[in-house]
Structure 1
Amino acid sequence: MQPQDVAQRHAPTSTGTADPVVDVEQAEAALVEHYPRLVRLAYLVLPPGIGRSRRVLTAHALVQRALPRGRTSASVIPAQSTGRDGDAGYAFVRLRVVRTALEAGLPLRRRAWPKRSQLPPLLPQVWGLRLFPRSGGADELALDQRLAALSGPARAAYVLRGLEKLPDADAHRVLTAAGVADPEAALAQANAVPAQYALLDSPEFDPCSLQARPTDLMRRRQHTKAAIAAAAAIAVCGALVALPGDGWGPDGAAAPVYAQNPAAEAALDPGRLIRVAPTAWKSSARTDFSVWPARGALAQDTGLLRRALAVWARPGESVRVSATPGTQTGGPAGPPQLLYAGDVDNARVVLLHDGLRIARYAEPKDGTHGAALDFARVDGAAGPEASALVLSRADGNVRYLTAPWVTKAAERDLRKPSSGAMDLDLTDGVTAPQASPVQQPEACTAWNVLQLTDASGTHLSTDLGELVPARLTSGRPGSADAAKSTGTEALATWAPFACSLAAQRSGGVRSVNAWAYADQALPEAAGTADWVCTRAETWRGAGTAVLAQFHTPGGRYGAVAAKATDVTACGPRDPHVLAGVLWKSEAGSWYLLAAGSSDTASIRTTGGVTASAQGRVLTARTKQGTQATLTGTLDDGTPLAALR
């Protein structure tokens, strides 16, 4: 049966009219115009188990082979996005892509010839590089894991709904035309996945915007020698591949070993892992990860530890690798320190520390397929910054492993400072699950943070989608009060601005400080507004984000008035800030409001509004949409530039 015969057989006839005829030129035009969308569609429907690199190349191959051999009829199922409505060529090519992507996920049978889509693509091919899409955030990772758990038809149903915007009736017809035996079951199974359709447009699922990494360089070198050497040399290389070595067993999701190095073997030998005594932290002057003891029920599981170390050194194609910005992902230079190994939710988790980084290895309890490897920088971490690590995220919750000096853990809603904290059980340093703010719906109704208590006091941290939670503080930068985060004043400062932390997700953030630097009486007796500056410091130093935010009485959230990146303002080196905002009164009048930190002597505005004021606040009548330039002067005469 030819491909065009399949399309014609399944073409719907309920309209009572003939299906539009598609020729090669029309299909090619649709394919070229919508190539990125079609490749994304194929990538999302393909089974994740084949590995990201092969999945990328297979998606491109399926789309490039989707042209008909001649004139054929196309399904009249409409496209739902501007530019594709009623395009019979696009409808036909899309159907071919969905059908072949579903076929690629079918298991091979002994007594049947494999279909072309079930074999690795001949073209395109890339030699010497592994290609994979850019990593997204925690939401994209969670969605990818949920889609991986679906059957191929259910994934196709979800993607047709979310990416193609097809209603269920049209998605049902596409699935039927693609040869799905039970479209109703596929649609019902897709209903189990939250409708986070906007995430399907993320770079995480874009096979046309790729990152490149080398393949196993040692393997390539050995292959080159094997091509030149005689049959005996080839046999030796094959023996090296199969030879495990003394005391070395299967490495699970790790890539094969093609050459052995004594120093590298020492770093990856489970027997040489650094294990700190449980009471070492009590007599140490340090309060960092170097004095964390090895914990977890699987801390003596040599097989699990060997797999974790092997994957760290050479992750296979099926391993999902992520790292905070500025973090190296190479193997350890020497034997790392074991922090934890145990069962957490539905996975086996290993946490390792090499002095500069935390590495988290996780594998399913029923095997190693789908293993993940995550990295985070922790150089210079001490005290509250070294008090907790993320163990797992599941079902919208997060579990932490806490430092041995932590005596109490609790969960607090930063949006509701007066609601108090809810205690979390601690079992061998592992917290009970708490709601993770990075996995909550888009509507920010709550922002749950981790509250830890130790001998030095009580501290707040928040999950921002990375291994190390970001520390939260409040107060004037550089002052003693800046370390506070759980006092009444500090909690009240954070409450209207907690949801702005969402902008710092997956950015390698080390700490965020909120500073209430000014308050201002609003015109027309509308009450008093608060000005708060939040500064997010990163582990790599660069990428510091500063937001000046404005909150009016009765408002649930603060509004961002100005923002800047990689500036010293609102920080210990430059504890000053100036920002302005256009504000509309209840009577409909517009005002330019500006405020500076406490040592601001005067403020001036030019451009659309010309006004000046002595002191730290300025109020000027203006019009909607006015553009103005703010400048200020400090008490010592130093100019003060406004955040933009």
Structure 2
Amino acid sequence: MSSNVKSPSPSQDLSGVVDVEQAEAALVEHYPRLVRLAYLVLPPSLGRNRRVLTAHALTQRALPRSRRSGDAEAIPVQRSREGRSADPGYAYIRLRVVSTALDAGLPLRKSALPKRAQLPPLLPQVWGLRLFPRSGGADELALDQRLSALSGPARAAFVLRGLERLADGDVLKILDAAGVDEPGAALAEADGVDAAHELLRSPEFDPCSLQARPTDLMRRRQHMKAAAVALAAAVVCGALLGLPGDGWGPDGAAAPAYAKNPASEAALDPAQLTKVAAGTWKRSARADFSVWPARGALTGDEALLRRALAVWARPGKTVQVSATTGTAAGAPAGPAQLLFAGEVDAARVVLLYDGLRVVRYAEPKDGTSGAALDFARVDGATSAEASALVVSRVDGNVRYLTAPWVGGVAVRDLLKPAASGSALKRDGEGVTEPMSSPAQARACSSWNALELRDDKGVRRLSTDLGELVPAHLTAGRPQAPREATAADWSPTACSLGDARSNGVRSVNSWQYARQALPEGNGPAAWICTRADTWRGAGGRALAQFRAGGAAAVAAKAEDSAACGAREPSVLAGVRWKSRGGNWYLLGAGSNDVVSVKTAGGSRTPGNTVAAPLERGARAGLTGRLANGSKVSTLR
């Protein structure tokens, strides 16, 4: 680790002060982004589990100790073109996070006392588990390796550029304020990394969406046995000393330690599984997973079902466990419902439902080594979301088990809306033949979606985003979305890659504005794509600008209600260069935006704006709604 980090001087580049309340609000609002920033700046040599815990600890300790706003220390305000950087509270917290993350990477020296950041965090602590972000692909792994080869300041420079989207001048100011001796050298070293900055937003580097694995179970078992023996001896000795006469005192209402819980035992008994009859869905007032019949050739294999339930309750160290974001991975509270049990490809597969989650258990045909257990949250599913479940993934292909009300299945390439769909055959149990999945594809030359026709003739599109339940695709205004067609999604299908592995329930695409480009350069379209999750929170919105057959991401918002049913208003802007070589600030809002104001102060009536942009000019936009309230650009 490079040693070109000096003691930070927070007073450098002082352009204003904020109080503790401002800093605290910024920390709460942008906590996931700040933790990701700390995780990326910390040296990978710490290991993924230690980096996760240290990143959370450093971010939570970023506030000043004083709780009185009047005594808050002077906070340097970094000025930049990025909206978050303009917030003094966020700029201060970000500087503290970067500074302590750089300190954490410094080697310990015998001649000096260690800084707090160099020591393992006291809190948070997780006993018996190793926590780490979801694994990404080859690109993310290559980027992590490149970052590990950089010095701490260079790594911070790359991350501030890519994650925070700061200009080089602002990066230099932050590094200098964080105590880096040679910020220019760190920036030059970061120039050697040619990876795309978008990779920094991958789940690979998200320390807030984690996977859990046990620590060394054998060693833990030995330690626990020794501790249990010591505790038992202490209890026995204490009880013997405290008894007034011979014999043991009563245990009161407590059951003996060896007694079994009847509810837990029932949940693990294959005979207690609910098996819905085949025609129940036709008579039911609801259409969800609760009326799926039990299907598959192995629904009577009690040994297989017992193994599936036992692994669900207590998965061993060799079981590959995955859960969508926001989904609990614990044992069932009572007997579950059996949806499917059968052989698919080279595995025996069991699908179970407990009213809140769908669980997939899979084991090889020739044994149980390498079993997998997958969880997905499905509470509140309607017939649209409960129409199909992933039953198998092999070599980039996926098979689905379809709902009993699905009358026909086809595959549609969203990038070829004029092409007719290809029929997807199903066996007698409702399992489809394999289809190519876009979930693992690196390039976006095509994007396959599942077209499901129900018993009433309604056609719905869903797509695989790497989870058990495919995401339902809709189109139209957020207040009244409709079933989407391939033509609705053709312009924005490739943006679905950003929603992978986030527990997505549905994704809506909506063209919210059209605009005539300056200098007769033709029309442009503005499209907002919103992904809603099963857990409610964590929604993502993305605004795209399309002109001349090309598309650009204008703005993104994470964990936001923007562009959805609760907050349908949307505003976004881009810098755009005309064919004549002139630069403009273009912006567009939804129909309820009655005027748009640029950072320069001019206000344009209507929901679109096209203002000439001088070199170095600020490129901010705000809008005003008909009721007088303001709307800001997505961020």
TM-score (norm. length: structure 2) = 0.63
SS of the equivalent of 2:367 reads coil
- Matched residue, 2:543: 548
Distance 1:559 1:225 in 2: 61
Q: Is the 8 A contact 2:133 2:203 kept in 1?
A: no
Distance 2:563 2:621 in 1: 17
- Matched residue, 2:562: 569
CA offset at residue 564 of structure 1?
1.2
Q: How does 1:35-184 map to 2 (within 5 A)?
A: 129-131=128-130, 133-136=132-135
1:559 is aligned, of 533, 552, 571, to 552
- Matched residue, 1:153: none
2:619 is aligned, of 610, 625, 628, to 628
CA offset at residue 600 of structure 1?
1.9
Q: Is the 8 A contact 1:460 1:472 kept in 2?
A: yes
CA offset at residue 226 of structure 1?
5.2
SS of the equivalent of 2:483 reads coil
CA offset at residue 512 of structure 1?
0.6
CA offset at residue 317 of structure 1?
0.6
Q: Is the 8 A contact 1:569 1:577 kept in 2?
A: yes
- Matched residue, 1:604: 597
Q: Per the alignment, do residues 404 and 220 of structure 1 end up closer, same or farther by CA in structure 2, a change over 3 Å counting?
A: farther
Q: Is the 8 A contact 1:397 1:439 kept in 2?
A: no
Q: Is the 8 A contact 2:538 2:560 kept in 1?
A: no
SS of the equivalent of 1:411 reads strand
- Matched residue, 1:120: none
Deviation per residue, 1:76-131 (Å, 9 max, x gap): xxxxxxxxxxxxxxxxxxxxxxxxxxxxxxxxxxxxxxxxxxxxxxxxxx996243
- Matched residue, 2:33: none
Structure 1 counterpart of 2:632, one-letter code? A
- Matched residue, 1:365: 365
Structure 1 counterpart of 2:512, one-letter code? Y
Q: Is the 8 A contact 2:211 2:322 kept in 1?
A: no
SS of the equivalent of 1:264 reads helix
- Matched residue, 2:604: 613
- Matched residue, 2:188: none
1:516 is aligned, of 503, 511, 515, to 511
SS of the equivalent of 2:325 reads coil
SS of the equivalent of 2:307 reads helix
Distance 2:366 2:443 in 1: 36
Deviation per residue, 1:118-171 (Å, 9 max, x gap): xxxxxxxx996243644325x58xx99xxxxxxxxxxxxx9xx99999xxxxxx
Structure 1 counterpart of 2:620, one-letter code? T
- Matched residue, 2:525: 530
Distance 2:46 2:634 in 1: 43
Q: Is the 8 A contact 2:571 2:623 kept in 1?
A: yes
TM-score (norm. length: structure 1) = 0.62
- Matched residue, 2:435: 434
CA offset at residue 622 of structure 1?
1.0
- Matched residue, 2:72: none
- Matched residue, 2:471: 470
Q: Is the 8 A contact 2:453 2:459 kept in 1?
A: yes
Q: How does 1:236-275 map to 2 (within 5 A)?
A: 260-275=260-275
- Matched residue, 1:404: 404
Q: Is the 8 A contact 1:218 1:258 kept in 2?
A: no
Q: How does 1:314-325 map to 2 (within 5 A)?
A: 314-325=314-325
Deviation per residue, 1:13-70 (Å, 9 max, x gap): xxxxxxxxxxxxxxxxxxxxx9956989xxxxxxxxxxxxxxxxxxxxxxxxxxxxxx
SS of the equivalent of 2:329 reads coil
1:493 is aligned, of 463, 472, 488, to 488
Structure 2 counterpart of 1:343, one-letter code? E
CA offset at residue 213 of structure 1?
5.0
Distance 2:422 2:315 in 1: 39
Distance 1:446 1:584 in 2: 29
Q: Per the alignment, do residues 309 and 212 of structure 1 end up closer, same or farther by CA in structure 2, a change over 3 Å counting?
A: closer
CA offset at residue 573 of structure 1?
1.7
Q: Per the alignment, do residues 542 and 586 of structure 1 end up closer, same or farther by CA in structure 2, a change over 3 Å counting?
A: same
- Matched residue, 2:67: none
Distance 2:595 2:267 in 1: 60
SS of the equivalent of 1:618 reads strand
Q: Is the 8 A contact 2:439 2:497 kept in 1?
A: yes
- Structure 1 residue 352 and structure 2 residue 352: aligned? yes
CA offset at residue 616 of structure 1?
1.4
CA offset at residue 259 of structure 1?
7.3
Distance 2:599 2:43 in 1: 49
SS of the equivalent of 2:306 reads helix
Q: Per the alignment, do residues 225 and 596 of structure 1 end up closer, same or farther by CA in structure 2, a change over 3 Å counting?
A: closer
- Structure 1 residue 595 and structure 2 residue 588: aligned? yes
Distance 1:591 1:360 in 2: 52
Q: Is the 8 A contact 1:545 1:564 kept in 2?
A: yes
Distance 1:451 1:219 in 2: 54
Q: Is the 8 A contact 1:358 1:375 kept in 2?
A: yes
Q: How does 1:184-223 map to 2 (within 5 A)?
A: 211=212
SS of the equivalent of 1:438 reads coil
Deviation per residue, 1:576-612 (Å, 9 max, x gap): 11111111122221111111111221111124xx433
CA offset at residue 439 of structure 1?
1.8
Q: Which runs of 5+ in 1 are unaligned?
A: 1-33, 41-125, 145-157, 166-197, 234-256
Q: Per the alignment, do residues 354 and 492 of structure 1 end up closer, same or farther by CA in structure 2, a change over 3 Å counting?
A: same
CA offset at residue 617 of structure 1?
1.0
Deviation per residue, 1:518-544 (Å, 9 max, x gap): 111112222111100111111111111
CA offset at residue 494 of structure 1?
1.5
Q: Is the 8 A contact 2:44 2:148 kept in 1?
A: no
- Matched residue, 2:6: none
Q: RMSD in angstroms over aligned alpha carbons?
A: 3.6
Q: Per the alignment, do residues 323 and 563 of structure 1 end up closer, same or farther by CA in structure 2, a change over 3 Å counting?
A: same
Distance 1:431 1:631 in 2: 49
CA offset at residue 641 of structure 1?
2.2
- Matched residue, 1:642: 633
Q: Per the alignment, do residues 38 and 533 of structure 1 end up closer, same or farther by CA in structure 2, a change over 3 Å counting?
A: closer
Q: Is the 8 A contact 2:320 2:373 kept in 1?
A: yes
SS of the equivalent of 2:406 reads coil
CA offset at residue 297 of structure 1?
1.2
Structure 2 counterpart of 1:572, one-letter code? A
Distance 1:342 1:135 in 2: 29
The range that moved more, 594-603 or 468-477, is: 594-603
SS of the equivalent of 1:400 reads strand
Q: Is the 8 A contact 1:342 1:350 kept in 2?
A: yes
SS of the equivalent of 1:543 reads coil
CA offset at residue 432 of structure 1?
1.2
CA offset at residue 615 of structure 1?
1.1
Deviation per residue, 1:249-286 (Å, 9 max, x gap): xxxxxxxx997432211100011100000100000011
CA offset at residue 419 of structure 1?
1.2
Q: Is the 8 A contact 1:493 1:516 kept in 2?
A: no
Structure 2 counterpart of 1:639, one-letter code? K
- Matched residue, 2:460: 459
Distance 2:130 2:633 in 1: 43
Deviation per residue, 1:531-563 (Å, 9 max, x gap): 0011111111111101111111222xx311011
Q: Per the alignment, do residues 625 and 369 of structure 1 end up closer, same or farther by CA in structure 2, a change over 3 Å counting?
A: farther
- Matched residue, 2:342: 342
Distance 1:330 1:127 in 2: 17
